[in-house]
């Protein structure tokens, strides 16, 4: 498993000079460090050697984990593993597989379906509207605010959610 912090820092309590500098620059957050070390410990009992943690995002009540590679072990059978991870980290966790933007958005809103992502041009800037079927509204687990934050993080633009 690769993580946002270096292999040495996974095993220690303190951060090396290089990782400390990256943290000062804002490239690394406390959540990155905590989740990296947590997954490193988990790797002793869970087969996640082909699972890399790319980045974490703190959304308040939710932690967003961007993961590259095989995410199935982190979800577990019937979501048992992700429930465990949520309990251990003390907050709800959403795991998003790094890749195609549409798939990443789908991971966030799942089990709700994605109708589409529309691009809006206004006053020279771009924003997105994520469209979810109205009938799936109750399947969206995140609050409106958290969902918007999560989608803006992934799409790196202002996002509006529309149910239709």
Return residues touching Zn ion (CB under 5 A): 6, 9, 16, 19
The candidate with the shortest Cα–Cα distance to 145, out of 71, 62, 67, is: 62
DSSP element (H, E) containing 119: strand 116-122
Q: Given the complex with Zn ion, which of 6 and 75 has the nearer CB atom?
A: 6
Q: Given the complex with Zn ion, which of 19 and 64 has the nearer CB atom?
A: 19
Q: How far is the CB of 48 from Zn ion (least distance, A)?
A: 20
Burial class (CB in 10 A: 0-12, 13-18, 19+), 62: buried
Q: Given the complex with Zn ion, which of 25 and 77 has the nearer CB atom?
A: 25
Q: How far is the CB of 160 from Zn ion (least distance, A)?
A: 39
Angle between helices 80-89 and 30-42 (to 10 degrees): 130
Q: How far is the CB of 52 from Zn ion (least distance, A)?
A: 16
């Amino acid at each position: 498993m690769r993580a946002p912090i270096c292999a040495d820092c996974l095993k220690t309590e303190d951060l090396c000079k290089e990782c400390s500098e990256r943290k000062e620059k804002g490239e690394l957050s406390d959540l990155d460090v905590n989740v990296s070390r947590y997954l490193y410990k988990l790797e002793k009992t869970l087969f996640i050697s082909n699972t890399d943690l790319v980045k974490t995002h703190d959304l308040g009540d939710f932690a967003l984990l961007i993961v590259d590679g095989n995410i199935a072990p982190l979800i577990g059978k019937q979501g048992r593993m992700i429930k465990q991870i949520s309990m251990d980290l003390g907050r709800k966790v959403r795991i998003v597989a790094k890749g195609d933007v549409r798939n990443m958005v789908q991971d966030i809103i799942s089990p709700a379906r994605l109708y589409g992502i529309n691009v809006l041009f206004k006053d020279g800037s771009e924003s997105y509207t994520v469209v979810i079927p109205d009938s799936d509204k109750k399947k969206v687990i995140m609050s409106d605010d958290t969902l918007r934050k999560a989608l803006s993080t992934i799409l790196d633009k202002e996002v509006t959610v529309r149910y239709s």
